[in-house]
């Protein structure tokens, strides 16, 4: 039995953030797939909802000294990992730098992803009769709004990565968000800094192995 386990869905950007963080820290973990669409959504089943009352992935399980700690929310999970496995730290220790990195993470975590989360898109269809194309347009709108913000926010501090020359929490959030740009066909041409960061991240094993095409529940092609 491994010390860490992660409930994850291959295409979940929030799970992808944590998979990258685990990879950057070199933590081997048990992958527990939760299919968000099959059978009405496995995240909504009673057993899973007991683990994560938000009924969403990711959920991290940490077993240590006979105790099991369950944590939801990718920001909380990555912050926890920084405390129990501090090498390498993904959030800077300096208060001002830490706040800047959290700002980037929160633009994505609270300003972009929740607006096109599965349950939001389902509600748009169920209550407001939105078509697939209308849901895609909605998603593209919020992704574009977010990328406009992120390019301006990141450009002054970015070097090889979002914040300097080592990958950190901001990159864990940025790369899955950029993957959504591909999925929803958002043109990234206006965002040169974000594209450059992506090129740097895509060379690293932690990012490659965490990608939706590489994880155990990735659809077989």
Q: Which spans of this chain sit near ligand GSH (rule: CB under 6 A)?
A: 12-14, 36, 41, 43, 56-58, 73-74, 109, 117-119
Task: Select 43 or 144, whichever has its Cβ closest to ligand GSH.
Answer: 43
CB atoms near residue 185 (< 10 Å): 10
Shortest spacing between CB 121 and ligand GSH, in angstroms: 8
Among all residues, whose Cβ is closest to ligand GSH?
Answer: 56
CA distance 162 to 132: 33
Shortest spacing between CB 118 and ligand GSH, in angstroms: 4
Q: Count the residues in the chain.
A: 221
Task: Select 117 or 193, whichever has its Cβ closest to ligand GSH.
Answer: 117
Whether residue 195 contacts residue 188, with contact meaning beta carbons closer than 8 Å, is answered with yes
Whether residue 72 contacts residue 56, with contact meaning beta carbons closer than 8 Å, is answered with yes
Question: Is the CA virtual torsion 64, 70, 71, 72 positive or negative?
Answer: positive
Shortest spacing between CB 199 and ligand GSH, in angstroms: 24
Task: Select 87 or 101, whichever has its Cβ closest to ligand GSH.
Answer: 101
Shortest spacing between CB 35 and ligand GSH, in angstroms: 11
Task: Select 23 or 58, whichever has its Cβ closest to ligand GSH.
Answer: 58
- Maximum C-alpha span of the chain: 51
Question: Is the CA virtual torsion 59, 203, 217, 42 positive or negative?
Answer: positive
Task: Select 12 or 144, whichever has its Cβ closest to ligand GSH.
Answer: 12
Whether residue 162 contacts residue 176, with contact meaning beta carbons closer than 8 Å, is answered with no
Shortest spacing between CB 195 and ligand GSH, in angstroms: 23
């Amino acid at each position: 039995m491994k010390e860490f386990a992660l409930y994850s869905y291959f295409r979940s950007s929030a799970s992808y953030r944590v998979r990258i963080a685990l990879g950057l820290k070199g933590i081997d973990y048990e992958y527990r797939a939760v299919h968000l669409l099959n059978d009405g959504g496995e995240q909504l089943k009673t057993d899973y909802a007991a683990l994560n009352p938000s009924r969403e992935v990711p959920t991290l399980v940490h077993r240590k000294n006979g105790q099991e700690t369950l944590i939801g929310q990718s920001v909380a999970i990555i912050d926890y990992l920084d405390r129990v496995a501090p090498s390498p730290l993904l959030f800077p220790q300096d208060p001002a730098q830490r706040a800047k990195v959290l700002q980037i993470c929160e633009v994505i975590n609270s300003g972009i992803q929740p607006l096109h989360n599965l349950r939001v898109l389902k509600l748009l269809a169920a209550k407001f009769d939105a078509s697939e194309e209308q849901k895609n347009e909605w998603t593209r709108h919020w992704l574009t709004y977010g990328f406009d913000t992120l390019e301006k926010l990141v450009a002054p501090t970015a070097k090889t990565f979002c914040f300097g020359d080592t990958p950190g929490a901001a990159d864990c959030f940025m790369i899955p968000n950029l993957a959504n740009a591909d999925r929803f066909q958002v043109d990234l041409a206006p965002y040169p800094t974000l594209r450059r960061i992506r090129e740097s991240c895509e060379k690293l094993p932690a990012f490659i192995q965490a990608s939706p095409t590489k994880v155990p529940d990735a659809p077989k092609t």
